[in-house]
Structure 1
Amino acid sequence: MFLLDADTLIQAKNTYDAFDFAPGFWDWLDRDHAAGLLASVEAVGQELKRGHDELADWAFARPSFFVQPGTAVPGSIAQLAAWVHGQAQYTAAARQEFLAGAGDLFLIAQAHGGSHTVVTSEQSRPESKKRVMIPDACQAVGVPCVDLFGALRATGGLMLVLSPAS
């Protein structure tokens, strides 16, 4: 299963897959979620719902898209915490932000505990001092990580088709 981070959905809504421009993208999310291929985590859903916009409405209408933490999540969080505390390059603030229970931590922990793949637009930056990047945390605990286009290709999801001229 692919688990999407908040920024992947936010960027889609704000840019190339806006609701009015690419409704097929949102249909793909619904279809592949129903097929058990896509989801996100409850913490991401909570973050999106604070937006008071079309994406928040979408998230409120799809509670099952945002899965509850699985039983393996606490152990996975412990592994992530041990890893991040062992990384001397991160500032204390960067460690605290990552471990504060934000969507990123729960997303990676759910993926780790359930053998899932994380979908994010973030890029690896192992030299970063001020922020723990999702791909770096995923790599540290052996979680596969792809961008949205990787997930689209892997699921056979979506194809851009020109609509007939009106």
Structure 2
Amino acid sequence: MNYLMDSNTYIQAKNLYYDMNFCPAFWDWLEKQFRAGQVMSIDNVYLELTDSNDELSKWAKAHKSHFLPVADKTTQDMFTEIANHVVSLTDKSQADIANFLSKADPWIIAKASTTGATIVTHEALVPPNSKKVKIPNICKQFGVSYINTFELLRKLNAKFVMAN
């Protein structure tokens, strides 16, 4: 696996530019990339996506195999290292630290770190004086690569063409 998708990449795709009704090709492309071993995500993202009863939740439930477990010791150990680092960030908002640690964010960084994968996220790097904790900032700290969905599509040469 080369790429791990963050929750926001699925959610924004569904809500904005790759709505499941008018762009099913994107979702078919994800399935193809999964079968090729290129694109996956993690259990924690699955839990976030299936927490509602919308079409994305139904899609995720039908594609449970796309979401890797994080129960392995290597990922667990890296999660602990990331969590300890985030807790030590005294210049960040305590509420934002708690929010970051309660979601899939530290887990996806841990899994990417232990597997050499690149995270696909729409979060952006925030300046050092920001009170927020964001995936790109923690990735940078731990040497984990990250890109957004559009960079992923370019790297994997995605083509969504209309059929006649």
Cα distance in 1 between the residues matched to 2:25 and 2:162: 12
Q: Does 1:138 align with 2:139?
A: yes
- Offset, 1:21: 1.2
Paired amino acid for 1:80:
I
Paired amino acid for 1:89:
D
Cα distance in 2 between the residues matched to 1:150 and 1:40: 17
Paired amino acid for 2:155:
A
Which of 99, 102, 109 lines up with 2:101 in the alignment? 99
Cα distance in 2 between the residues matched to 1:160 and 1:62: 21
- Offset, 1:93: 1.7
| 1:123 aligned partner | 124
Moved over 3 A (4+): none
- What percent identity do the matched residue pairs reach? 35
Matched length: 161
Paired amino acid for 1:14:
N
Instruction: Look up the SS of the partner of 2:19 in the other structure.
Output: coil
Larger mean Cα displacement after TM superposition, 80-89 or 57-66: 80-89
| 1:78 aligned partner | 80
Cα distance in 1 between the residues matched to 2:48 and 2:88: 28
| 1:35/1:71 CA distance change after superposition, 3 Å | farther
Cα distance in 1 between the residues matched to 2:122 and 2:87: 24
- Offset, 1:96: 1.8
- Offset, 1:160: 3.3
| 1:66 aligned partner | 67
TM-score, length-scaled by structure 1: 0.91
Contact 1:5 1:104 in 2 (8 A): yes
| 1:42 aligned partner | 43
Which of 87, 90, 93 lines up with 1:88 in the alignment? 90
- Offset, 1:60: 0.4
TM-score, length-scaled by structure 2: 0.92
Give the aligned CA root-mean-square deviation in angstroms: 1.3
What does 1:20-39 correspond to in 2, within 5 Å? 20-39=21-40
Q: Deviations over 1:76-120 (max 9, x none)?
A: 1122123213323202222222223x1111111111111110000
| 1:4 aligned partner | 5
What residue ranges of structure 1 are gaps of 5+ in the alignment? none
Cα distance in 2 between the residues matched to 1:65 and 1:91: 33
Cα distance in 2 between the residues matched to 1:63 and 1:17: 20
Cα distance in 1 between the residues matched to 2:64 and 2:161: 30
Cα distance in 1 between the residues matched to 2:138 and 2:11: 21
Q: Does 1:161 align with 2:158?
A: no
- Offset, 1:152: 1.2
